[in-house]
Amino acid sequence: MIPTVFSARRIITMDPSRPEATHVMVSHDGRILAVGGPEDMQDRGELHHDDRFADKVLMPGFVEGHAHMMEGSVWRFTYLGHYDRVAPDGRRWQGITSTNALVQRLRDRAAELGDGPVVGWGFDPLFVPGDRLSRLDLDRVSTTRPVVVLHSNMHLLTANSVALDLAGYDENTDVPGVIHTEDGELHGELHEMGAMFPVMRRVGASFRAMGGDPEAIWNFARSACRAGVTTSTDLLNELGDEVLADLFATTADAGYPLRLVPMLSALALPPEAVAARAKELRAQSTDRVRLGGVKIVTDGSIQGFTAQLLAPGYHRGTDNGIWNIAPEALNVLVDDLNRQGIQMHIHVNGDGASLAAIEALEAALAGHFRPDHRHVLQHCQMADRAQLRRIAALQCCVNLFANHLYYFGDKHYEITIGPERACRMNPCASALEMGIPLAIHSDAPITPLAPLVTAWCAVNRLTDSGRQLGTSERIPLDAALYAITLGAAHTLKLDAELGSVEVGKRADFAVLEDDPHALGPEHLREVRVWGTVFGGTPVAAGSF
Amino acid sequence: MAAALPVNLLCGYLGAGKTTLLNRLLDRQGERILVMVNDFGDIAVDAALIAGRSADTIQLSNGCICCSMGGGLFDAFERALSLRDRVDRLVIEASGVAEPRRLASFALAEPELDCRAVVAVADPQSLAERLTDPRIGRVAESQIRGADAVFLSRADIAGRAALRRAARLVARLNPLASQHLAPDGGFTQALAAPHDGRSLAALAPNPDHGRLFASRTIGLVPPPDRQQLVAIIDRHRRAVHRLKGYVLLPGSDGPQLLQLAGGVLSLDPAAPSEGMVANRLVAISPDADALAQLAADLAPAPSCAARPG
């Protein structure tokens, strides 16, 4: 088989021994054979030359260290979010800025579908001026078909009269979470899962419908390719037999261009069964499905007021902090998984949760130290420098939620945690200063899957309104590019295999129209992505 | 369509004794119980303990699905509903850190489910410590406050003093809940009762809203006679959302349970449960003045001060 040499305007390798190149030679089975200039490609026998990227910039394929497969499935519903957003099929959806625009979009969608329920997602009433979206607005979409709008936080929905009627709700319903207007009529808004469940199950919008069927797995790869991503986590998966079978079968297709790293949900199994299951899964890994890691969810979210916060707690609003696992049970689980050599990804949003995880890891690692364990604190948005010092001492990694700075930063500053803590949240610079291995993430579909945007967030720390949150926690452009490639690969224990353009590694590249260094830190998010090279094969965005 | 499926919810912190109680319920004959276990994050191996019984068991992943974005809870309820024809009752063993109202709201909202008593299981020896724990105290409290019935476990080994202390703690947090020490006839009755959607915790699910409701304990000293009592309460039945307590009235044979809910007053023979004292009523209303008026009418003598919920 003849190797291929790709030439490019510039290759940013992320390999300090050869930071830049213009040519990369790739074997027929998708490995990098040589990196350098044209002179380095000579005397290698017969070569196939591919110059289609001669005016483009190559980087290592981006690694998304914290996203969800739901990015691939939620688009079966109609997007109603505030920010413009691109669907897996490439369609650009404009942000919704008024109730009329929302009604019109759902009407169009209803016409497109012909019959049956109309479901929207991603709606955030705080961004829409005027009266809060109600049943009556959605009755303008249809008075014969159920219409349901899921809010962006997934804790609320608004339903039209038909949908409410399906669930048996009327003005006499006295159920927590079923909201009435001042004059006693149904408002249409339903709060929390209990009240939402009867409606969602009757319109086919259950969370099961947002799982990882083959179409969702393909869509996830479509979104990834548009963003230059060649490896992505699916950071919480119960990994039942049916799901696994779909994953293996779908990704086995020769044209499937994404390495998936699903994390087993530790809370889906009895605690003593988790390690054994993780090992069993690890043994089933393929080159496109990497198994063996475990995810533990501790608290909720900051913007949902369900994160566990230390004093002084939330700036405004009511503390509804939740534990998904009791701190004592966390200690036992973390100790067992560490002892058995399982890498853990621990979801901690609030500083109360990160403290609980740090304490659990301290106890576990004191009892059984494992060199290079790479346990990762995920999100870890509110850890202060004292917590970071303990994380550094434990030799853990952090994967910080840099996108929050832009997408939720104003809310954090004004409402959830106040100016001081908002300005030090997602402390990328402090983490690097302390030598903590750093990744940054999108948590797609919570925010868009786009590592260059995530890197822009970490570099500039600007909110939607243009406020800068914590100038001293900004990181340099190169540090951010490292975080979305080798940094993220490190947190997945895949850094020996991907994350940089080096001989022996997989030929997974992000193909960029613009040079990030030429556009500069402030314009990083404007870098256009052509697509990817996956295992040596070029894959244009939108081509599959 | 089959009748709605009755649901009981068992909650309580780690090690409270939920699984032991559940197994004792399953040991009984005559009822086909479907068990939903939401306890895998816990230390106890609940699925294994329950295995081998006649009950069907649905394994439910832990946690707030909304935050984890998994489908566990939705799926579990769907599966429970699909088994409606084969079972008489669904018992949910909640995770140690579950707030009862979050789970109960499913059973309250879904027309195909019939929300019966929410039971909090508490270990008398560790309850006080749990309630003051800075990390989980709030959850432990919400479990007691959200319950219709509180089961104090290990009554056989807990000392009398510990039991009394626990009973008092529970009564202070949730004066409306019945208290039980054994899964006896009284407990069975409590299980079958509908979930009280008008308890303070249900009316005021979060502390902010809690300020909208006042509760007041009113001592009947001396107790009025029955006719007088009914007449006074009748004048207040619109303004007072809830009134409950055991009364021992002059001329009556024995203690009675007095309840006012939804404007309907009932008086039934019953013995006060542990931790409750006869002739002390607990009243709840959004209107503190209404409570003061009721207290003045019922007991000219000074009563306990009103306190916010």
**A317, closest residue in chain B (CA to CA):** B208
Residue in chain A closest to B203 (alpha carbons) equals A176
How far, in Å, CA of A208 to CA of A499, rounded? 33
Which residues of chain B lie closer than 8 angstroms to A238, CB-CB?
Answer: 61, 70, 72
What is the band of B15 on the pLDDT scale with cuts at 50, 70, 90? confident
Q: Which ranges of chain B would DSSP assign to H, the alpha helix?
A: 18-27, 46-50, 65-68, 72-82, 100-109, 127-132, 137-145, 160-173, 185-192, 200-203, 207-210, 226-236, 288-298
Specify whether the CB–CB gap between A383 and A352 falls below 8 A.
no
More confident residue, A534 or A209: A534
Residue A286 pLDDT level (bands cut at 50, 70, 90): very high
Percentage of chain A beyond pLDDT 70 is 99
pLDDT tens digit string along B120-167?
999 999 999 999 988 888 889 989 988 999 999 999 888 899 999 999
- pLDDT digits 0-9 by tens, A307-359: 999 999 999 988 888 888 889 889 999 999 999 999 999 999 999 999 999 99
- pLDDT for position B201: 52
Q: What's the rounded Cα separation, in Å, for the pair B2 and B111?
A: 11
Chain A and chain B share a number of CB contacts under 8 A equal to 166
Quote the CA–CA distance of A471 and A64 in Å, as a whole number. 25
Q: What is the mean pLDDT of residues A98-106?
A: 97
- Is the pLDDT at A64 greater than 90? The verdict is yes
- Interface contact B109-A154, CB threshold 8 A: no
Given a cut of 80, whether residue A541 has pLDDT beyond it is yes
pLDDT at B63: 39
B interface mutation test: which of A71, A191, A196, A297 has the most B CBs within 10 A?
A297
Section A424-439 average pLDDT: 98
How much is the pLDDT for B62? 41
* Mean predicted confidence (pLDDT) in A85-108: 96
What is the pLDDT, as a whole number, of residue B54? 46
Task: Give the per-residue pLDDT at B276.
Answer: 58
B284 pLDDT more than 80:
no
Check CB contact under 8 Å for A176 and B63: no
B-chain residue closest to A68, CA distance: B69
- Which ipTM value was assigned to this complex? 0.75
- Residue B68: pLDDT over 80: no
pLDDT at A81: 95
Q: Three-state SS for B236? A: helix
Per-residue confidence (pLDDT) for residue B275, from 0 to 100: 53
This prediction has a pTM of: 0.84
Cβ–Cβ of A352/B135 closer than 8 Å?
Answer: yes
Instruction: Calculate how close chain A gets to B22, using CA atoms only, in Å.
Output: 18
Contact B47 A324 (CB under 8 A): no
Subunit contact B103:A201, Cβ cutoff 8 A: no
Best-predicted range by mean pLDDT (A322-331, B35-44, B239-248): A322-331
The residues that bridge with B259 in the sheet, in sequence order, are B244, B266
Distance of alpha carbon A116 from alpha carbon B213, whole angstroms = 43
Rounded CA-CA distance A13/A503 in Å is 11
Q: Tell me whether residues B109 and A177 touch, CB distance under 8 A.
A: yes
- The yes-or-no verdict on residue A26 having pLDDT over 60 is yes
Query: What pLDDT is stored for residue A304 in this prediction?
Result: 83
Of A114-118, A272-276, A426-430, B30-34, minimum mean pLDDT range: B30-34
- What confidence score (pLDDT) does residue A209 get? 63
Structural contact between residues B60 and B76, judged by C-beta atoms closer than 8 angstroms? yes
The more confidently predicted of residues A540 and A197 is A540
Residues of B in contact with A174 (CB under 8 A): 197
Distance from CA of A208 to the nearest CA of B (A): 5
| Average pLDDT, integer, range A485-495 | 98
* Interchain proximity A267–B62, CB inside 8 Å: yes
Helix/strand/coil percentages in chain A, nearest 5 = 35, 20, 40
How much is the mean pLDDT over chain B?
77
Answer yes or no: is pLDDT of B45 > 50: no
**CB-CB contact of A380 with A46 (8 Å):** no
Name the helix (H) or strand (E) containing A157. strand A156-159
Q: Which residues of B touch A269 (CB under 8 A)?
A: 40
User: For residue A63, which of A537, A486, A542, A502 has the smallest C-alpha distance?
Assistant: A486
Percent over 90 (pLDDT), chain B: 22
pLDDT at residue number B50: 40
pLDDT mean over A427-445: 97
pLDDT of residue B273: 58
Alpha-carbon distance B297 to nearest alpha carbon in chain A (angstroms): 30
What is the average pLDDT value for chain A, to the nearest integer? 95
Residues of B in contact with A200 (CB under 8 A): 74
Closest by CA position to A36, among listed A28, A228, A478, A44: A44
Predicted confidence (pLDDT) per residue in A143-195, tens digit = 999 999 999 877 789 999 999 999 999 998 888 789 999 888 999 999 877 88
Peptide bond into A38 cis (omega under 30): no
Contact criterion met (CB < 8 Å) for B66 and A193: yes
Which of A68, A306, A333 lies at the smallest CB-CB distance from B69? A68
